Amino acid sequence: MRKGRARGSRCVEANPDGKKAIKSRQSSHEMCGMARNTDTSLTAKLRRIFSFTHSGNPSAPPLSDQMASGDKKTRGPPPGPYDLVESFNGVISKRDKGKFERIKSEEKDITPTNPEALSEKSEAKYNTLLVNDATKEYFLQREEVQRRENALGFDHHCTKEAEEWEVDANTVFQKLKKLDVEEVYDKEARIEGYAGQEHKRVPGDRFLLNAPIIEKTRLYRAIQEMPKGAHLHIHFNANLLPEVLLNIAKEQDHMYIQSDIPLTSKEAFERCHLRFSILSKPSKRPDLFTLADGSLSDKSPDEEPENEKHVMSFKAFRAGFVSKYKTAYEHDDKSLLRVVAEEDLVDEYLTRKIVFQADEAYSPHQTAKGAWQRFNAHTKMMKGLFNYFSAYREYTRKCLREFVDDNIQYAEIRPNFMKNNQVWSDDGTRQTDNFGIMDLIIDEYEKFQKTHKREVFKGLKIIYCTPRSFDPEQVKFALDECLDMKRREKYGKYIAGFDLVGEEGNGHPLSYFIPQFLEFKKKCKDAAVEIPFLFHCGETLDVGTETDGNLVDALLLGSKRIGHGFALAWHPYIMQQMKKRNICVEVCPISNEILGLTPRISGHTVYSLLANDVHCTLSTDNGTLFRSRLSHDFYQITVGKADMTLHGLRQLIEWSIDHAMMNDEERNETRKTWEKLWKKFCVELFEEGKRLPEGKKNSPEEEKNLPEEKKNLPGENKNLPDEDEEKP
The answer to whether residues 425 and 255 touch, using CB atoms and an 8 Å cutoff, is no
Distance between CA atoms of 633 and 173, rounded to whole angstroms? Answer: 16
pLDDT confidence of residue 115: 65
Strands (E), 336-483: 410-414, 423-424, 431-432, 459-467
Q: Which letter does DSSP use for residue 533 in this model?
A: B
pTM: 0.81
- The amino acid at residue 570 is W
Measure Cα distances from 359 to 269, 297, 595, 696 in Å: 17, 22, 12, 35
Nearest to 240 by CA among 632, 623, 621: 623
pLDDT confidence of residue 51: 46
Distance between CA atoms of 706 and 165, rounded to whole angstroms? Answer: 27
Residue 23 phi, psi dihedral angles, 5° rounding:
-125, 130
Q: Is the pLDDT of residue 721 over 60?
A: no
Hey, is 110 helix, strand or coil? Answer: coil
Share of the chain above pLDDT 70, in %: 77
pLDDT tens digits for range 274-293: 999 998 877 778 899 987 64
Please state which of the ranges 134-148, 234-248, 467-481, 536-550 shows the lowest mean pLDDT.
134-148
pLDDT tens digits for range 475-501: 999 999 999 999 999 999 999 999 999
Compute the average pLDDT of residues 33-59.
43
DSSP H or E stretch at residue 570: none
- Please list, in sequence order, all residues whose beta carbon lies within 8 angstroms of the beta carbon of residue 498, skipping any fewer than 6 positions away: 463, 464, 465, 478, 479, 482, 520, 531, 532, 533, 534
pLDDT band at 699 (very low <50, low <70, confident <90, very high): low
Nearest to 180 by CA among 588, 638, 549: 638
CATH class of 213-241+379-678: alpha beta
Cα torsion 681, 687, 693, 698: sign: positive
Distance between CA atoms of 300 and 529, rounded to whole angstroms? Answer: 43
Q: Where along the chain do the CATH 3.20.20.140 domains lie?
A: 213-241+379-678
pLDDT tens digits for range 400-453: 999 999 999 999 999 999 988 779 999 888 899 999 999 999 999 999 999 998
